[in-house]
Amino acid sequence: MPRYSETRPHVRSTTILSVRRGNLVAIGGDGQVTMNQAAIKHDARKIRSLLDGKVFCGFAGATADAFALMERFEAKLEKHKANLRRAAIDLAKDWRTDRLLRRLEAVMITIAPDATLMLTGMGDVIEPEDGVVAAGSGGMYAMAAAKALLAHTDLPADRIVECALNIAADICVYTNHHILVEKLATAPAGNA
């Protein structure tokens, strides 16, 4: 008999990208949700504001799982007084060790003025050294486009995210052109 995970519909649902440049950090995502071979939603909102806009979070993976993780993450942010790194490490520990949480299938990318982090259910808390990180079906396309735009243009972070996600949407069938981008001013040097 096949396992439940082999029989449930395969949902491919996103491309999330974050870029840091100069005094700006941006995060964006597309709006497509695909189940098996059908695009079933075109305007899903995969970027969420936490702590009244002080932190933004994007997610790739199962939607209910992502929302459960974001609720816990916001609680961790409140507990650690908006310290993104401490909250992320605390959540990653729970996500990896808790019997129920470790079944959740999602990847989160979070931004705050002083940090960009990617969190996974494997216990990873990754801070990209070049300020570019992506997740989801079209993540590698978007990341490659963003790195090229960083190297060869003077575009600000939010425009790079928008352009790179549109390039990914032209290539990845699980990514569409309904793009949402959010941005924050970065922390001044020395305050990180």
Catalytically annotated residues: 14
Q: Tell me which long-range contacts 41-48 makes (C-beta under 8 A, separation of at least 24).
A: 42/176, 42/178, 43/178, 44/13, 44/14, 45/180, 46/13, 46/14, 46/16, 46/180, 47/16, 47/180, 47/181, 47/182
DSSP strand E in 137-178: where?
none
Residues 58, 59, 64, 65, Cα dihedral to 10°: -120
Burial of 151 (0-12, 13-18, 19+ CB in 10 A): exposed
- Asked whether the beta carbons of 186 and 54 are under 8 A apart, the reply is no
State how far the Cα of 151 lies from the Cα of 135, in Å rounded to an integer: 21
